[in-house]
A and B are shown apart, each in its own frame.
Chain A
Amino acid sequence: MCKWCFSHGTNGEKWYMNAKNYSNQLADEMNLKDYLSEQWQHYEQIYIRKIMGVSSKDLGYKLKMPIIGRVVRNMAENMIHSEKKNRKGVRADGHFGQVIPLEDGKIILSELAAEPIICNYCMCRWQRRGEKEAVCINFGALSEVIEKLPRFIPKDRAVRLDREAAVKQLEENNKKGYIASVWFQPVPYISAICSCENPECGAFTLRNSFDINIMYKAEYIISLNQDNCQGCKSCVSWCQLGALKYIPSMKRVIVDYDKCVGCGVCRHACENDALKLIPREEFPGYNGKY
């Protein structure tokens, strides 16, 4: 259980299984239509916008500077996790997320997410590759906000999805190799399930290249059954983080648990039933390491 499960979860459940975090009542209380409109109208500018005098351009160099580097890192982390009242949408304060396996995503979309549920073009793919791919699933107060922005709306398919169609879309994305993730936007309100790709996803780049805590590992971790693994190597190319490696001398695959985020996408590739997701708590070496 990560620390947000303790502060925003309920009854010993994970934070994204708490129905209150999806409610329209919460969105109205926190006046989120304004926050989300401001955030998504200018969203592509988030990386170049100067926030307290510093922009994210060339962040790698800025973070390496002796004292200023630490100041910038603290500023970024405080903004990302901010729960204050004066949060600004244009800076995406309080926006961070966690990787989830397909099963948890299906539960969220079929029971917890507030309708209307929409499917729109992923902003990250557009920004970093010029590709328009409708893999982003948004819901709650965010749906009506995004429907007003034509650049995100696909022309050749239905935008609003019913619960069954949304679950099917998430499964399709997962089987393509995309990593499902659920997002506080802003904390504690949950309004998005994204299907991320590394390095196109902004959050994965910030996490892997700059060690900024904006995307957390899942509450699960992969477990490889060594007896079942036949060494076919099908799973190795599926892992977006490079956590699976084939060892020729042992004729099987090994796992790098530092890199595994627990997305479970590799399971779709294994035909020998060798890959299984287990709760992170059952793995003593990596319990609590997000």
Chain B
Amino acid sequence: MGSKVKTKKLKKQLKEKRTKIRIDYSICGEDGKIDPRDCCKCLKVCDPAVFTMHSALDLKFKDPYDPQRWMITPQWGSLCTRCLKCVEVCPENAISIKW
């Protein structure tokens, strides 16, 4: 009984934690201070290209031919190497990473 509990705990510890990348959309995004298209620094500095820039999904200002509301999503979180270069390079400190 005791050894079963131990292996379960060990397995839980060994299970890899997800990398949680968050961007503060009040700073960088469709309603934020900065339009991501003018900066793009985190896109260029990330080696595995985790971030993706895309037009916002909202229906408020829908202009399919030339969307003006853009945002960046940390798309492929599992590829993040946790080098933290994006946190360093963002001029507005909008990115935070936890694991």
Interface on A for B, CB 8 Å cutoff?
41-42, 44-45, 47-49, 56-61, 64, 126-131, 148-151, 199-200, 205, 209
Residue of A nearest to B43 (CB): A130
Q: Chain A interface mostly helix, strand, loop or mixed?
A: helix
Contact: A41 with B65, CB < 8 Å?
yes
Q: Which of B62-87 contact A (CB under 8 A)?
A: 64-67, 73-79
Q: How far is the CA of A42 from the CA of B78 in the complex (A)?
A: 25
**Interfacial chain A residues near B64, Cβ < 8 Å:** 41-42
Q: How far is the CA of A41 from the CA of B40 in the complex (A)?
A: 22
**Interfacial chain B residues near A129, Cβ < 8 Å:** 40, 43-44, 49
Contact: B75 with A57, CB < 8 Å?
yes
Q: How far is the CA of A217 from the CA of B54 in the complex (A)?
A: 28
- The answer to the question of B93 belonging to the interface, with a C-beta cut-off of 8 Å to chain A, is no
**Interfacial chain A residues near B74, Cβ < 8 Å:** 57
- If A59-B78, A129-B43, A130-B43 touch, whether A149 touches B52 (CB-CB below 8 Å) is no
**Interfacial chain B residues near A41, Cβ < 8 Å:** 64-65
Additional 10 contacts, C-beta under 8 A, given A56-B75, A57-B74, A60-B77: A47-B75, A48-B54, A57-B73, A57-B77, A59-B76, A127-B53, A128-B43, A128-B53, A131-B44, A209-B48
Please name 5 pairs of A and B residues whose Cβ atoms are closer than 8 Å in the assembled complex, sorted by A: A47-B75, A49-B57, A60-B79, A64-B78, A209-B79
- If A129-B49, A130-B37 touch, whether A149 touches B65 (CB-CB below 8 Å) is yes
Contact with A along B26-45 (1 / 0, CB 8 A): 00000000001101100110
Q: How far is the CA of A199 from the CA of B73 in the complex (A)?
A: 17
Min Cβ gap B16→A in Å is 9
**Interfacial chain B residues near A48, Cβ < 8 Å:** 52, 54, 57, 73, 75
Residue of B nearest to A206 (CB): B76
Contact: A44 with B55, CB < 8 Å?
yes
Min Cβ gap B18→A in Å is 6
**Interfacial chain B residues near A45, Cβ < 8 Å:** 54-55, 57
Q: How far is the CA of A228 from the CA of B62 in the complex (A)?
A: 59
**Interfacial chain A residues near B44, Cβ < 8 Å:** 129-131
Min Cβ gap B26→A in Å is 19
Min Cβ gap A267→B in Å is 27
Q: How far is the CA of A131 from the CA of B37 in the complex (A)?
A: 10
Question: 7 tightest CB-CB pairs across the interface, nearest first?
Answer: A60-B78, A130-B40, A41-B64, A44-B54, A58-B77, A128-B49, A130-B43
Q: How far is the CA of A277 from the CA of B51 in the complex (A)?
A: 35
Q: How far is the CA of A116 from the CA of B75 in the complex (A)?
A: 34
**Interfacial chain A residues near B75, Cβ < 8 Å:** 47-48, 56-58
Contact: A149 with B78, CB < 8 Å?
no
Contact: B52 with A209, CB < 8 Å?
no
Residue of B nearest to A197 (CB): B49
**Interfacial chain A residues near B54, Cβ < 8 Å:** 44-45, 47-48, 127
**Interfacial chain B residues near A151, Cβ < 8 Å:** 66-67
Contact: A128 with B51, CB < 8 Å?
yes
- If A42-B55, A130-B40, A130-B43 touch, whether A200 touches B49 (CB-CB below 8 Å) is yes
